[in-house]
Structure 1
Amino acid sequence: MATGFDQFLHALRGRKPRRAAGQPGEPRWRAEFVARDVKGPRLGLQDFGYASHELSRGYGAVDDTALVGPVQILTPEGLDSLTEVCDRLESSAGSARFITTRRVRNADLMSAFINNMIRDRGFLLSCSRLAGVPLIPHPLRIPTVQVNYFEADGRADIVKWHHDGMDYVLTIQLNGYEDYDGGRFSYFMGRVDEFTGAREGDPRIKEAPCGERGAALFLHGSRIYHAVTPVTRGRRVTVVVSFLCPYFARQDSNTFWHLAADDGIPATIPGWLRLKWPVRDPAMDYSLRAGSPVITWEDLRG
């Protein structure tokens, strides 16, 4: 991410979210595309060194999930359809200076399939159960869904260790290790404030085994440093979905300038107001802002 004066210059750029009714000929989303009984290995934030008092809590729950997966959250047919949609979107991908080779931002505004997928009640309920808290698509519309295209272009600087502005992030991998070399998802097994760089042989640098096509990984993105190694052969495509827990919205980690540096001030202001506007009923108010079904604590326990 840009910093300092470079960050300010990026923020001055005018950028409007690209919108389209849908990609011509794209498949239709179906509720049956959500896999059943989605479960996987889990690590808690306390495993990363965070103290109990640093965790969001309320409604009889503690927001302790750090990383879950890999899991298969879509059926094979659903995965095939999502892959087709992202292949169609690739012509709209712009170059990225920081973490990936090329990307499509606000993909849910450009694809009816993706828009319906992330607002499907079954999909949201599966993601919420992985996270352990009720989730909705993030009201900041530009970064809600991003499609990343990593390519073997010789750029060693594509490995950027970072933590996200978003608290709850799901990454779905659309192809497997047989399609590319490199492209390994790595993370730092420690607190964000302990990270001083990735050094060879550091036992705290771990790799998530996401080599299977369709592997999905849930990450508490704002509290974990992570990176993807350069792709040295082939092409790696991922879909990254960002969520908000309405009940813990006041603890949302996004900062205005972090977002504006990526998308520009004019494009950031509407979403920022949508996120920060006072609420009375968190579940209902934020769900309406995101155009999403309401997921409650009772749904997670059911």
Structure 2
Amino acid sequence: MATTRARSGRSSALNLPRTATGFDQVLHAVRARPPRRAPELPGEPRWRSEFVATDLRGPRVRLQEFGYASHELGRGQGRLDDTALVGPVRILTPEGLSCLTEVCDRLEGAAGASRFIATRRVRSADLMSAFINNMIRDRTFLLTCSRLVGVPLIPHPLRIPTAQINYFEGRGPGARPDIVRWHRDGMDYVFTIQLNGYEDYEGGRFSYFRGRTDEFDGAREGDPRIREADCGDRGATLFLHGSRIFHAVTPVTRGRRVTLVVSFFCPYFARQDSNTFWHLAGDDGIPATIPCWLRLKWPVRDAAMDYALRAGSPVVTWEDVR
């Protein structure tokens, strides 16, 4: 699968709204409500490590190709944290993807509306589904993700945004469309798994800005840096260094599009983690964000061990990624 392509209709992506910043972001945080919680799904499929397609290789783009200098990037164990984008790849087998799709379809009733980033979504899906919880904390799954990116990864210790399901549906003329606004993530390491393909919907194109985040405001109609990730196949999985790349999803005009977005964390770069309090609070509200934020900022002695315990995850080390 090809990694990216320039969009023929670039202006439709560039004209999407942008996520609130500054005082408007604070207002979102004040008005936001904690995500809705649903009881755990009864009778859902059982996760198995065999669902992971191991030894994956995918097209890789470095952050230097987005305009970042090497000295701006994290470095650990002689390695540079310079992966901007990988994929799309198929990280799950067909059977694993079918099980995940069933789970995400059944969780749609818990979806809440938001005007901050994604229009309609389920937050903290791993707290509602044993399948998703076990998938993102499975050692085989974590090692595969870590090796694709080149740094040790665990599920993000901030539990509310760790696993999010986005739902998009074409609603007809005059209806408010489901979109993802232009934004950069609070999380550094983000995987998006496409649960259906272009044959199921129109629109819903994953677009991103191939440049530094501080250059995004200068983008204009026809800018060749507005790209589209070729994620049209069911099961296509894309890694994005979300905090350093502006991205969005265009309106779905027909059909239905569902994605699972999983946020990861590198314990060795904990002090460089890009999360900001107000970014999280804008989505989940201040009361829900405070305890998670304080828990993340507790000091640790052993980064690999302590953060893995906080995330309920196996330990992943640099030696595992080599």
TM-score range, shorter chain: over 0.9
CA deviation digits over 1:27-57, x for unaligned, max 9?
1111111112121100000010100100100
Q: Are 2:306 and 1:285 equivalent residues in the alignment? A: yes
What is the alpha-carbon distance in structure 2 between the residues aligned to residue 157 and residue 118 of structure 1? 26
For structure 1, the 5+ residue unaligned runs are none
Q: Are 2:102 and 1:81 equivalent residues in the alignment? A: no
What is the alpha-carbon distance in structure 2 between the residues aligned to residue 124 and residue 194 of structure 1? 33
Are the aligned partners of 1:100 and 1:150 in contact in 2 as well (CA < 8 Å)? no
What is the alpha-carbon distance in structure 2 between the residues aligned to residue 157 and residue 21 of structure 1? 25
SS at match of 2:211: coil
User: What is the aligned partner in structure 1 of residue 64 from structure 2?
Assistant: 46
Stretch deviating more after TM superposition (200-209 or 113-122):
200-209
What is the alpha-carbon distance in structure 2 between the residues aligned to residue 148 and residue 75 of structure 1? 21
Alignment of 1:127-276 (within 5 A): 127-153=145-171, 154-155=175-176, 158=179, 160-196=181-217, 198-276=219-297
SS at match of 2:214: helix
User: What is the aligned partner in structure 2 of residue 112 from structure 1?
Assistant: 130
Aligned-partner residue type, residue 138 of structure 1: H
What is the alpha-carbon distance in structure 2 between the residues aligned to residue 61 and residue 189 of structure 1? 23
Are the aligned partners of 1:174 and 1:237 in contact in 2 as well (CA < 8 Å)? yes
SS at match of 1:7: helix
Structure 1 residues 5, 47: closer, same or farther in 2, change over 3 A?
closer
Are the aligned partners of 2:86 and 2:239 in contact in 1 as well (CA < 8 Å)? yes
For structure 2, the 5+ residue unaligned runs are 1-18
Are the aligned partners of 1:18 and 1:110 in contact in 2 as well (CA < 8 Å)? no
Deviation at 1:3, TM superposition (A): 3.4
SS at match of 2:147: helix
Deviation at 1:100, TM superposition (A): 3.2
What is the alpha-carbon distance in structure 2 between the residues aligned to residue 144 and residue 85 of structure 1? 16
Of 126, 150, 158, 2:144 maps to 126
Are the aligned partners of 1:12 and 1:265 in contact in 2 as well (CA < 8 Å)? yes
Q: How many residues align?
A: 301
Deviation at 1:18, TM superposition (A): 5.1
Aligned-partner residue type, residue 265 of structure 2: L
Are the aligned partners of 2:116 and 2:282 in contact in 1 as well (CA < 8 Å)? no
SS at match of 1:213: coil
Aligned-partner residue type, residue 217 of structure 1: L
Cα root mean square deviation, aligned: 1.7
Of 117, 120, 125, 1:102 maps to 120
What is the alpha-carbon distance in structure 2 between the residues aligned to residue 139 and residue 159 of structure 1? 24
Deviation at 1:197, TM superposition (A): 5.8
User: What is the aligned partner in structure 1 of residue 315 from structure 2?
Assistant: 294
Are the aligned partners of 1:14 and 1:267 in contact in 2 as well (CA < 8 Å)? no
User: What is the aligned partner in structure 2 of residue 61 from structure 1?
Assistant: 79
Deviation at 1:85, TM superposition (A): 0.2
Are the aligned partners of 1:151 and 1:233 in contact in 2 as well (CA < 8 Å)? yes
SS at match of 2:217: coil
Structure 1 residues 8, 202: closer, same or farther in 2, change over 3 A?
closer
SS at match of 1:50: coil
TM-score, L = length of structure 2: 0.89
Deviation at 1:17, TM superposition (A): 5.5
What is the alpha-carbon distance in structure 2 between the residues aligned to residue 213 and residue 156 of structure 1? 22
Q: Are 2:48 and 1:27 equivalent residues in the alignment? A: no
Identity score, percent? 81
SS at match of 1:257: helix
Deviation at 1:80, TM superposition (A): 0.2
SS at match of 1:253: coil
TM-score, L = length of structure 1: 0.95
